């Protein structure tokens, strides 16, 4: 599909990104609804185990794809990094409000931009550096160190965004030689393997309700990634990125109505700054006609 064809369907791209964002917010709310009934590490493991059923359509492609030792090493490394991100994210969900989880997750593309400069030879122009500084200001506004307690949940979300950025950069290396569907499938397989010993250490028999909720989590996560793929096929990241701001609105409203979480204007302001910075970076990539590297802010969801 040509770039002209892609950019000629911005409305479709924004609609599918809207659907993806809604799916991911519902997924996040479902995880939050588990409350203290299950250890977050066990919940993370079961989410991935139950999600393996969605790999069945790609099974033939997985088995038919030849992988070198380098590919397997990268898959294993990505599984370890992403597995760490998953555990941190599930833990953060038990500690801080939905809106803060959503806003701080917007930092992942910023880490990707920095990582690309450090490890992939991407050039960091002054405008990109300025956008990164704006995003960091957004984080400071959200955390407000010295004015309120920075909890372990906030630290976990900072770690989540950083490790998800590393996972995305490894994915960009892998998709140069391997079909994207196979890369996604291997991520689920390797993360499940990585989480096994951690889940065993905290295991307790799950209830049928918990299993049902986690299956819905896996379903909405899969749907979100599928809708996001449709969005990126229809329009470039620069067009669809701003739509992801709606996630922060939904997360704020849902947190207030369902979980009685206070609406924090500082979190909304900080999240808006971060997303504006990421959108600017994506727009500059489009203007310079570069190979898009900065992912949409929901491309790195769990």
- Does residue 122 register a pLDDT over 80? no
CA 195 to CA 80: how far, in whole Å?
9
pLDDT at 203 over 80: yes
In this predicted structure, the answer to whether residue 5 has a pLDDT above a threshold of 70 is no
Name the more confident of 255 and 58: 255
d(CA 270, CA 249): 13
Mean pLDDT of 57-62: 84
169's enclosing H/E stretch is helix 152-174
* Of 17-31, 77-91, 110-124, 207-221, the least confident: 110-124
Q: Does residue 4 have a pLDDT over 70?
A: no
State yes or no: pLDDT of 2 exceeds 50.
Answer: no
Q: Judge whether residue 3 has pLDDT over 60.
A: no
Could you tell me what percentage of the chain is helix, strand and coil, using 3-state DSSP and rounding each to the nearest 5? 80, 0, 20
Task: Compute the average pLDDT of residues 126-148.
Answer: 90
| Lowest-pLDDT choice from 5-14, 65-74, 109-118 | 5-14
Give the separation between CA 186 and CA 236, rounded to whole angstroms. Answer: 26
pLDDT higher than 50, residue 7: no
Tally the C-alpha atoms within 13 A of residue 12's C-alpha that lie toward its C-beta: 13
pTM for the whole thing? 0.86
pLDDT band of 226, cuts 50, 70, 90: confident
Q: What is the pLDDT of residues 35-59, one digit of tens each?
A: 888 999 999 999 999 999 988 888 8
Region 280-293: mean pLDDT is: 72
Provide the residue ranges of all domains of the chain, joining segments of one domain with +: 3-287
How many CB atoms lie under 10 A from the CB of residue 193? 14
Cα separations (Å) of 199 from 86, 91, 157, 186, 211? 12, 13, 20, 20, 15
Is a pLDDT exceeding 90 seen at residue 64?
no
Instruction: Please give the average per-residue pLDDT across 244-249, as a whole number.
Output: 88
């Amino acid at each position: 599909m040509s770039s002209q064809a892609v950019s000629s369907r911005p409305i479709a791209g924004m609609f599918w990104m809207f659907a993806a964002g809604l799916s991911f917010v519902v997924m996040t709310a479902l995880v939050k609804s588990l409350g203290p009934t299950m250890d977050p590490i066990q919940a993370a493991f079961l989410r991935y185990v139950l999600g393996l059923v969605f790999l069945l359509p790609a099974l033939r492609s997985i088995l038919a794809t030849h992988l070198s030792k380098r590919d397997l090493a990268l898959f294993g490394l990505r599984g370890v990094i992403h597995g760490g991100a998953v555990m941190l994210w599930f833990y953060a969900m038990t500690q801080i409000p939905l809106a803060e989880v959503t806003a701080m997750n917007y930092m992942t593309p910023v880490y990707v931009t920095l990582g690309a400069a450090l490890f992939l030879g991407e050039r960091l122009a002054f405008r990109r550096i300025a956008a990164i500084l704006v995003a960091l200001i957004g984080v400071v506004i959200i955390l407000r160190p010295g004015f309120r307690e920075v909890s372990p949940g906030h630290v976990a979300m900072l770690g989540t965004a950083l490790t998800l950025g590393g996972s995305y950069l490894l994915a960009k290396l892998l998709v140069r030689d391997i079909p994207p569907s196979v890369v996604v499938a291997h991520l689920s397989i390797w993360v499940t393997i990585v989480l096994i010993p951690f889940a065993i250490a905290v295991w307790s028999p799950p209830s049928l309700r918990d299993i049902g909720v986690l299956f819905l989590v896996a379903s909405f996560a899969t749907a979100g990634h599928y809708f996001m793929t449709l969005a990126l096929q229809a329009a470039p990241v620069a067009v669809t990125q701003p739509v992801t701001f709606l996630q922060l609105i939904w997360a704020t409203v849902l947190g207030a109505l369902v979980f009685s979480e206070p609406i924090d204007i500082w979190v909304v302001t900080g999240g808006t700054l971060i997303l504006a910075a990421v959108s600017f970076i994506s727009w500059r990539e489009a203007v310079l006609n570069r190979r898009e590297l900065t992912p949409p802010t929901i491309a790195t969801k769990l």
